[in-house]
Chains A and B, each alone.
Chain A
Amino acid sequence: MQPNEFHPIAYSAAFYFFGLTALASAIAFVTRKSPVAAAMWLVNVMFCLAGLYVMLDAQFIGAIQVLVYAGAIMVVFLFVIMLLNLGHASELADARGRWGQVLALLVGLALVAPLLALSKGDLLNRMIPPDLAARAAAAAAAPTAGGVIGPVAEPLFKEYLLAFELTSVLLLAAIVGAVVLGKRRTDAR
């Protein structure tokens, strides 16, 4: 399943490295009191995920993960945190009490248990399409135009063209909304 350019052991090692790092960073992210520290850990998670994307043969997604998420969105978060100057004590003591945390952990475990069950188990085998080998062989035989972006670009601009156009409308609405919300109300006084 792994791309041929990788040695299997190296591939596995890199995969576990990125996965465990992402896991550790995520745990660190939710436990940091400082919003800035939390944001930095989250950025780290996103970098790790970008690496995983590349390893899963989704190089384009990995690239925009770094560009859009880590680069743009998280910068906006940090920007807002600093804009609002959320560093002082009252804002830092934001976690729930001990029991709340335990309960949340239990809920998290309860949530992850079925998800793990779904992703392990028999279900996964049943999810594998029967013609997978043939499809993979066909995909390997036909040299894809446009390198790694082509396989994403083709459905995006053909099959999902309408949805793609709609996202532009969504972004426009978001821009307008953000501007309206962020603007200081000068007329109120």
Chain B
Amino acid sequence: MMNPAMTFEGAHPLAATIARLVWLLPLLPLLGFLINGALAMLGAAKIGPADPSEGHHSEGHGNGHGGVHGHEHDDAHDHADHGHPPRHKFAGIVSLVGPGVLVAAFLLASAIFFAMRGVEMEHPYVLTLFSWMPVGDLNLNATILLDPLSMTMVMVVTGVGMLIHIFSVGYMQDDPGYPRYFAYLNLFVFFMLILVLGGSYPLLFVGWEGVGLCSYLLIGFWFSEKANADAGKKAFIVNRIGDFGFLVAMFLMFANLGTLDILGVADKAKDLPMGGAVATAIALFLFLGCTGKSAQIPLYTWLPDAMAGPTPVSALIHAATMVTAGVYLVARASGVFSMAPVAQLTVAAVGALTAFFAATIGLKQWDIKKVLAYSTVSQLGYMFVGVGVGAYVAGIFHLATHAFFKALLFLGSGSVIYAMHKAYHATHNHDDAQDMRNMGGLRHHMPITFCLMWIATLAIAGIPLFSGFFSKDEILAAVFARTHGSTLAEASLLGIPGSTVLFIVYGLGLVSALMTAIYMTRMMLYTFHGPNRTGEAERPHLAEAPWVMTGPLVVLGILAAFGGWLNVPALLGAIGPVGGLEHWLEPVVGENALRTTLGEAAHLSHSTELVLVGTAIAIAVAGIAFAVWRLKPAALVAKKDAPAAEGIARVLENKYFVDEGYDAAIVQPTVAVSRNVLWKGFDAGVIDGLFVNGSALLARAFGWMGSQLQTGHLGTYAWVLLIGVLTILGAFTYR
């Protein structure tokens, strides 16, 4: 079936603008990947990955023992005091190409964005590149789908990606794998752009898998440390479970809707019965894919471990872009989701549970990156609550603001780790550079990072006028609004009425918001306030990172502070134009969002809205105040002197022992079955024993029989020959 956009392709107003060069967007990072990859291979003959034995080492910690491995890593600053080690011989050209392609891509994206602002977008712009898979009934083209939603994602990916690339130039400068790092990072952006621009689900899936691959490669970037390589494998394997869901969803789409085209599916989904089994199944399987990629319950365990990668990678892939792909997918498939209220409730419930659950774990983590990792899981939960209840704009809005402030937090923590590591390295101390118990008082040493990270903290906590406030509040308000007069409220999940589910979701959201404020403030207090616990010898070496690193932080700081102006709520109409993002995304998700709210825009009375906003603000302030009141950074002791945690704190510190639980419930039985049944029973017994050795035995038996015929006596041979002759002759004569 032709979708409307196809029909209009030739005459689309965007075809006459720079938007026709949209295919260049993914191509630019790909070019960067090819160049950097070639340089990495050329340089690989000389310099391999960092050797842990030389004191390089391991930013990551396996899970559950955060911080046991002492010295932290970042080859970048090893040897700082022995004079700089020689940089990679291609470092110059890589520093130019790696961030360069991203700058170019961002400029192009901006140009396309302004071109899109300039024309009336009645239909999405679909650019068909080439015929990809013409197989039977399935005629799949490689198409680029450019609409406000994908444009928003492109802006986030290229914009935040560009800043993080620039930051990486400083952070990774002395790493022996410098070109390899940028090659992977460029490749990641390439796949991410394929993901957001792909015009069909299979193409989206190509990007989906591609970013997974890059994530794996970058988590295990310092693969000479086993924990890092294991973390990479864990991420990869856990994601495969989700990808299975995505694949099944695509099969279902093709079987039931007859198309895999994004617009085609959206078009056909309208005709599905409301709440029918097909739409629900497709939506739930898609969401299974999302739980893997976006680290939701039950597949979230890989994300905290993914912190083993370099910190800019955590910022780009595991906070700002890749992990939000699931949110994007739900918004993309909003046509299907809005037809399946049960699936929507599931998404919202899982999102809220994840937000709550991860926030509690975040309360007791000591590793600065682990705090941020659980915070990311928690915030992703918020996004799913948003898109789950059909407030797609709110979800995407939070995605964008989260990309700003979480990227800032990660890069800021990278800055801190950089300084800590440098200090430890200067004194040959092998203590943990990521443990907050070893920090404290850093505000005196790194004032810029300190200020910027506070901005991000206020943003994530939901302090008014900072970006996170707008987006988080919008999500919570949307949930509240849908408790009445929506398809969700009328549906039920596991026997619980939809409105009850939504109230629970709302409650969990509020509690999570409180805990978010607490753990973020806790992180800031322990890191930057109070006395310094790094050590007497190290203290003089603590210093702000170079400008190539703080520069991107400043830009992100501005975005984190003012990102909320993207979509100002009507209530605060006084401060700027209302609902920018809402209008921008309206052509894509508007209709589907309305379907959930029964045809009328979700509406809350002015007073209700004021109460909700007031509650949110009160909770944010209370969280921060509580943390400041209760937590005493001065009382904290350095990690090596710290006592083991007790009681509930121990449970939280160990992340509810979920990893151990998965290990006991899934991994160990799988291993046991594999070892005892599949390996020792089937492989060794049936395959090796029966088939391999059995066939050899059979051949030997025949060989033995044959050898018995070889008596060496001509008479025997004559007899055998005669028998053969008789057989053939008989066969010819008496057939």
Contact = CB atoms under 8 A, between A and B. Distances in A.
Direct contact of A and B (CB under 8 A): yes
B677 interface: no
Interface in A71-130: 96, 107, 110-111, 114-115, 117-118
B733 interface: yes
B722 interface: yes
B726 interface: yes
B730 A114 contact: yes
Nearest to A100: B715
A117 B722 CA distance: 18
17 contacts: A96-B715, A107-B722, A107-B726, A110-B726, A110-B730, A111-B722, A111-B725, A111-B726, A111-B729, A114-B729, A114-B730, A114-B732, A114-B733, A114-B734, A115-B729, A117-B733, A118-B733
By size class, the interface of chain B is under 10
Contacts of B729: 111, 114-115
Interface in A117-153: 117-118
A118 B733 CA distance: 8
By size class, the interface of chain A is under 10
Interface of A is mostly: helix
Contacts of A118: 733
Interface in B711-735: 715, 722, 725-726, 729-730, 732-734
Contacts of B733: 114, 117-118
B113 to A, nearest CB: 86
Nearest to A96: B715
A117 B715 CA distance: 27
A106 to B, nearest CB: 10
Interface of A: 96, 107, 110-111, 114-115, 117-118
A161 to B, nearest CB: 33
B723 to A, nearest CB: 8
A93 to B, nearest CB: 15
A115 B729 CA distance: 9
A33 B237 CA distance: 85
A118 B734 CA distance: 10
A64 B725 CA distance: 30
A111 B733 CA distance: 11
Nearest to B726: A110
Contacts of A110: 726, 730
Contacts of A114: 729-730, 732-734
Interface string B326-365: 0000000000000000000000000000000000000000
Nearest to B731: A114
A110 B734 CA distance: 12
Q: Which 3 pairs of residues, A with B, have the shortest CB-CB distance? A: A114-B733, A114-B729, A110-B726
Contacts of A117: 733
Nearest to A118: B733
Contacts of B732: 114
A118 B729 CA distance: 10
A110 B726 CA distance: 7
Interface in B677-735: 715, 722, 725-726, 729-730, 732-734
A107 B718 CA distance: 12
A111 B727 CA distance: 10
A110 B729 CA distance: 10
A118 B728 CA distance: 14
A114 B725 CA distance: 11
B711 to A, nearest CB: 15
Nearest to B715: A96
Given A96-B715, A110-B726, 12 more contacts: A107-B722, A110-B730, A111-B722, A111-B725, A111-B726, A111-B729, A114-B729, A114-B732, A114-B734, A115-B729, A117-B733, A118-B733
A98 to B, nearest CB: 16
B282 to A, nearest CB: 72
A114 to B, nearest CB: 4
Contacts of A107: 722, 726
Contacts of B730: 110, 114
Contacts of A111: 722, 725-726, 729
A107 B720 CA distance: 11
Nearest to B734: A114
Nearest to B719: A107
B724 to A, nearest CB: 12
Contacts of A115: 729
A118 B726 CA distance: 14
